[in-house]
Structure 1
Amino acid sequence: MSTQKTFLVISALGEDHPGLVNKLSRAILEQGCNIEDSRMTVLGGEFAAILLVEGKWNTLAKVENVLPELERTLGMTINCKRTGERSRSSDKVPYGVDVVAMDHPGIVNKLAEFFADRGINIEDMSTSTYSAAHTGTPMFAVHMTVGIPGSTHIASLREEFMDYCDGLNLDAVLEPLKM
């Protein structure tokens, strides 16, 4: 008999300062829950976190109850939502996508459009900007994980993606993830 895990997704956003991760994680631990997955980063002057917290229904309720006070003491905006386990599709093959280009508006949208038009789910994405060595040219980098349906002819998809990126003057790589 398998027991379905119960989760709480928490998003937190507020002015960055030392100790935020410590205080967030301690509040979750003190309620008897565990952070199973997370993404945390500083964007501009703001700290942003998305946490997947696992626990029994009653311990998750305790976390939900302490969030308003935590929001006040940390000076953050905190939202939460109950969720269940993610259903894993066995016919999806995880691929990594890396793109680098001179920075300009619309890169993320164009990449998202390419994959959405083909029914390919973007499962994870991170972007960053930086200055090119020697020239200082503003550059943009994207890394994403996509779930490609097993029935997809990968060589054709890769060729189509490379042609698409070439047309947009994007340097790109599409390769299987090494798990």
Structure 2
Amino acid sequence: MPSLVVTVIGPDRPGLVGAVSDVVRQHGGNWLESRMSHLAGQFAGIILLDVADADVAAMADGLQNLKAHGLKVVTEVDSSARPASNSAPIWQLSVVGNDRPGIVREVTQVLVAHNVNVEELTTECSDAPHSGGPIFRATVRIRLPAELDTGVLQTELENLASDLMIDFSSAAAAGDTAGA
């Protein structure tokens, strides 16, 4: 059974998730995973669906009809066999510091240099309680190659900038076993 990866974006309003789920149900899809968020007045989401081979085209067409609800939709079919389990360790990376351009790029450059895969990235900026200046926060779930020396990775991440606090820990140690 192929998987369908769907991204949706449009002006936020009540009922958008319901409209998407109606299409999935109408075409016999199984909603497996999703990440959805309200960002700057927009609704943005990514969804992983299982769809029978015979229903993929109808599902994709049905999702395109969500334009009537103001949504832009992109669908990608993934017919590759999903691995049963990936035993590579999952780690959690937290980054906090005064907001400035380039933080995500700096962190991801270190990760790429060590062949680390980003499984999930969440970022936000908020005002600091006392100074009122913007504080950047990122939480990153990463999958490490088995041969990686975590001490080297941690040192390189901590050396990025003196104004960033970096916490690097095993997701299993933190009680997070999702995806592991």
SS in 1 for 2:144: strand
Q: Are the counterparts in 2 of residues 31 and 63 from structure 1 also a CA contact under 8 Å?
A: yes
Paired residue type of 1:37? E
Q: Tell me which of 21, 46, 53 is aligned to 2:49.
A: 53
- 1:172 corresponds in structure 2 to 166
Structure 1 residues 152 and 144, CA, compared in 2 at 3 Å: closer, same or farther?
A: same
Partner of 1:160: 156
**Structure 1 residue 64, shift from structure 2 partner:** 1.0
Partner residue of 1:68 out of 64, 68, 78: 64
Query: Pick from 91, 101, 108: which aligns with 2:104?
Result: 108
Q: How many residues align?
A: 172
Query: How much does 1:85 deviate?
Result: 4.2
Give deviations 1:20-41, integer Å, cap 9, x for gaps.
0011111101110011111100
SS of structure 2 residue aligned to 1:104: coil
Q: Which runs of 5+ in 2 are unaligned?
A: none
TM-score, normalised with respect to structure 1 = 0.89
The amino acid across from 1:169 in the alignment is D
User: For 1:123-143, what per-residue CA distance to the aligned partner results, in whole angstroms no more than 9, with x for missing partners?
Assistant: 210110101112211111011
- What is the distance in 2 between the residues matched to 1:43 and 1:85? 33
1:88 to partner: Cα distance: 6.3
Where structure 1 has 5 or more consecutive residues not aligned to the other structure, the ranges are none
1:39 aligns with 2:35: yes
Deviation readout 1:68-110 (Å, 9 max, x if unpaired)? 3222x21111110101344467452110100011110000000
> If the length of structure 2 is used for normalisation, what is the TM-score?
0.89
- Structure 1 residues 94, 88: closer, same or farther in 2, change over 3 A? farther
Give the secondary structure class of the aligned counterpart of 1:92: coil
Report the counterpart of residue 92 of structure 2 in structure 1. 96
1:143 aligns with 2:143: no
Corresponding position of 2:16? 20
Give SS of 1:149's match: coil
